[in-house]
């Protein structure tokens, strides 16, 4: 199953790969060089298919918990001052996605979307300290009746070319449901209340829609 954001890219890549296969097979007569070129084209197609895969996840809805919005590795757990929306101290948990991870963004909590904003910006590497404030990004705040307000931020990285955000103000967010996609990129930050009990550790691998990040 592939994410809808990848359908066009997958189709174009497939056409290019098939056409290239025919050209290589017709015009390159050296066996080892032809074989190498065909393998490279096949690898390219496999990588594109893998990047846009959209596996089903089994989310157990719980208003007292925040689940991972994306697949990846936890790279930040710290108390910070959130400047854009809360303008106070929050617990930040950041998940970094490698090109091999699933790049679907999922809603971390149930609730109402009360804030959604896109920011154009730079394309610093995702682990850069200023990436959260200077890179292309979207900020979304969801208000949950039990948990309160949870902010998540999609952040583009050095390879990212487009952030897709489905969360619109006044929309209903369903925990674990598809909230967007980051094409060829790279990190999502969560900003949580200070009294949150964090359930993950640094460098832990998490699965979007399933791993519990925090709970009240």
Tens of pLDDT along 124-170?
Answer: 665 555 666 667 889 999 999 998 999 999 988 766 557 899 999 99
Q: Which whole-number Å values give the CA distances from 4 to 8, 19, 33, 54, 68, in the listed order? A: 8, 24, 35, 9, 21
Considering the domain architecture, whether residues 28 and 83 belong to the same structural domain is answered as no
Query: Is the same domain home to 40 and 76?
Result: no
- The CA-atom distances, in angstroms, between 163 and each of 123, 135, 180 are 12, 11, 8
Q: What does the pLDDT read at residue 98?
A: 85
Query: What residue spans of 61-165 are helical by DSSP H?
Result: 131-134
Structural domain containing residue 204: 65-215
Same domain, 47 and 95: no
pTM of the model: 0.85
Residues 83, 186, 189, 1: what is their CA dihedral angle, to the nearest 10 degrees? 140
59 within some domain: no
DSSP conformation class of 170 = T
For residues 69 and 179, the answer to whether their CB atoms sit within 8 Å is yes
My answer on whether 209 and 118 are in the same domain is: yes
Domains contained in the chain, number: 2
137, 182 Cβ separation under 8 angstroms: no
Contact 126, 155 (CB under 8 A): yes
Asked if residue 58 belongs to a domain, the reply is: no
**Which residues belong to the active site?**
186
With respect to residue 38, please indicate whether it lies within any of the assigned structural domains.
Answer: yes
Q: Are residues 25 and 125 in the same domain?
A: no
**Whether residue 127 is found in the same domain as residue 173:** yes
Q: Are residues 209 and 132 in the same domain?
A: yes
**Do 160 and 136 form a contact (C-beta atoms < 8 A)?**
yes
Q: pLDDT class for 54, splitting at 50, 70, 90? A: confident
Do 29 and 118 have their domain in common? no
Considering the domain architecture, whether residues 85 and 45 belong to the same structural domain is answered as no
- In a domain, residue 57? The reply is no
């Amino acid at each position: 199953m592939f994410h809808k954001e990848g359908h066009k890219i997958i189709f174009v890549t497939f056409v290019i790969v098939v056409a290239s296969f025919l050209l290589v097979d017709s015009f390159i007569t050296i066996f080892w060089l032809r074989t190498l070129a065909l393998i490279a084209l096949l690898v390219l197609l496999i990588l594109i298919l893998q990047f846009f895969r959209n596996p089903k996840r089994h989310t157990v809805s719980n208003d007292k918990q925040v689940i991972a919005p994306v697949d990846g590795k936890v790279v930040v757990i710290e108390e910070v001052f959130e400047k854009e929306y809360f303008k106070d101290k929050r617990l930040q948990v950041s998940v970094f996605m490698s090109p091999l991870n699933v790049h679907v963004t999922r809603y971390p909590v149930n609730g109402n979307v009360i804030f959604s904003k896109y920011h154009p910006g730079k394309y610093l590497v995702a682990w850069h300290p200023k990436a959260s404030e200077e890179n292309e990004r979207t900020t979304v705040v969801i208000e949950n009746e039990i948990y309160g307000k949870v902010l998540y931020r999609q952040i583009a990285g050095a390879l990212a070319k487009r952030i897709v955000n489905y969360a619109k103000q006044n929309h209903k967010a369903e925990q674990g449901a598809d909230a967007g996609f980051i094409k060829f990129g790279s990190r999502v930050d969560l900003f949580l209340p200070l009294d949150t009990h964090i359930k993950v550790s640094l460098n832990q691998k998490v699965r979007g829609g399933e791993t519990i990040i925090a709970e009240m």
